[in-house]
Amino acid sequence: MDEHDLRLRSLTYGLFVELGRAPTVSEVAAFGELPSADVSSGWQRLHDQHALVLNPATAEIRMANPFSAVPTAYRVKADGRWWYANCAWDAFGICAALHADGRIETSCPDCGEALRIEVHEQRPDETTLLFHCLVPAARWWDDIAFT
């Protein structure tokens, strides 16, 4: 990853946190004083390197892991805002990335019971829950939205 793409990635993530949502190509271009075409081509390279995930239909951001650009089953309150995470791992990852305590809200995929976990100093207050990862690590990026 060259310096240009590292800067674009940093700009993109910074705007995501500042706005509380995924920035558009136009917003990153305006904020970074870059041509929109450079943002789009840079995002595609970052996507190819698994540094973010684009929506194939729109070429806008789908995931800036651990953040999700679209609503999901994992909501996280951290650093004064609500966020969506891509999965349970990313839900804790949002607290980690923001270096903040937080609250994770989701539901058991089996029975639908609401689950609420408070994260304080990196530790969950609920200790009986289990995390299940269905896809082996070697295949996580075969279909990252499914993983």
Partner 1 sequence: MNLFRSEEHIGRWLGGRAPGATITVGKLSELAHAWWSDRLLPDWQPRTRERNQALLDRLGLDGEFWQLP
Nearer of residues 82 and 141 to partner 1, judged by Cβ: 141
Question: Nearest-CA neighbor of 140 among 36, 63, 35, 43?
Answer: 63
Query: Which residue number, 58 or 142, has a Cβ lying nearer to partner 1?
Result: 142
| Least separation in angstroms between CB 53 and partner 1 | 14
Q: How far is the CB of 45 from partner 1 (least distance, A)?
A: 12
Q: How far from 135 is each of 18, 62, 64, CA to CA, in Å?
A: 33, 20, 20
In whole angstroms, how close is the CB of 99 to partner 1 at the nearest point?
A: 7
Instruction: Say if residue 66 is preceded by a cis peptide, omega within 30 of 0.
Output: yes
| Between 43 and 92, CB nearer to partner 1 | 92
Q: Which residues bind partner 1 (CB under 8 A)?
A: 1, 6, 9-10, 13-14, 17, 49, 51, 65-66, 73, 87-99, 106, 108-111, 113, 115, 117, 119, 122-124, 126-139, 141, 147
| CB 24 to partner 1: min, Å | 20
User: How many CB atoms sit inside 10 A of residue 115's CB?
Assistant: 13
E strands of 45-120, at which residues? 53-54, 61-64, 67-68, 74-78, 81-85, 102-107, 114-120
